[in-house]
Amino acid sequence: MILARISKAVRDQNWLAVSLEFIIVIAGVVVGFQVSAWNEARQERGLEQAYLERLFSEFEVVSDELDDASGDLDDARDQAEGFLAAFDAGDRETMARDTFALLAITRVSEVQIQSAALHELISSGRLGLIRNEALRAELANLPLVEADAHGVIDQIKAQQVDIVATLRPHLRVTMDGLGVDSVILADSFTPDDIELANNLAFAIYLNRSAALFLRVLKNEVDQLRASLAEELGQPSPVPAPETSP
């Protein structure tokens, strides 16, 4: 239709009509590109919002898991410290009651701090959907934080292997279908075994270090959650620090 009008205008040497027709064609192409770009930008903003909400929700779960893991370490340490005090006092009755602590004290929970949504954003090359540069940098740095975390946890576990080797000969562990059923002290577990006491004290130290490290990771995750909440226009999930009067 437009080509027919242009052809007729050229035959009639109506250059004004030709110019107008070309302007209409060019304007139509430009408007089409603008509408397409606007629609693409609108879709990207919708994706960004969806990812921000997923990230906020998933990092809340990660924060809770870190909190639970550090709490489990605290519980194991409390029992192990009670066992060590009873060990020093030669109180085998209390020691027998807290023998599970000897296994728990040498365990460190593995917690993944990278969420599924963040993995999708990075692996698909869509991290650029997050327009806030500071928030995008925080998200991009998290895999490095997680890699460092695994390195620290692996170091702690490596040191615990030797401790477990010194404890095992003094324990009688029975298993059932669900795991450890009972832990019984051998007669060789005596207060005059200084090496055994020192190893148990070192296990408690490693446990405390692991719990502290998990709390540092939780703080990293909570700071990220605060940034996500700000971007979403939600109240910060992290309590503001108390100020002295």
Q: What is the pLDDT of residues 133-160, one digit of tens each?
A: 999 999 999 888 888 888 888 888 888 8
How is the chain split into domains, by residue range?
A: 17-232
Which tokens sit at 136?
A: 């995008």
pLDDT tens track for 169-194: 777 766 665 555 566 777 766 767 77
As a whole number of angstroms, the longest Cα–Cα distance in the chain is 116
Which tokens sit at 217?
A: 């990771």
Give 104's pLDDT tier (boundaries 50, 70, 90). Answer: confident
What's the distance, CA 208 to chain centroid? Answer: 21
The b/e string for 18-49 (b: 16+ C-beta within 10 A; e otherwise) is beebeeeeeeeeeeeeeeeeeeeeeeeeeebe
Which tokens sit at 72?
A: 């489990």
pLDDT at 47 over 50: yes
Q: Taking a C-beta distance cutoff of 8 angstroms, is the pair 238, 86 a contact? A: no
Give 223's pLDDT tier (boundaries 50, 70, 90). Answer: very high
More confident residue, 185 or 162: 162
Q: How many CB atoms lie within 10 A of CB 227?
A: 20
Which ranges of the chain does DSSP label H, i.e. alpha helix? 2-11, 15-89, 92-97, 100-104, 116-123, 133-167, 194-232
Q: Residue 179: left (phi > 0), alpha (psi -120 to 50), or beta?
A: left
pLDDT at 132: 92
pTM score > 0.85 for this model? no
Specify the DSSP class assigned to residue 176. E
Dist. CA 192–CA 221, nearest whole Å: 45
Dist. CA 200–CA 182, nearest whole Å: 19
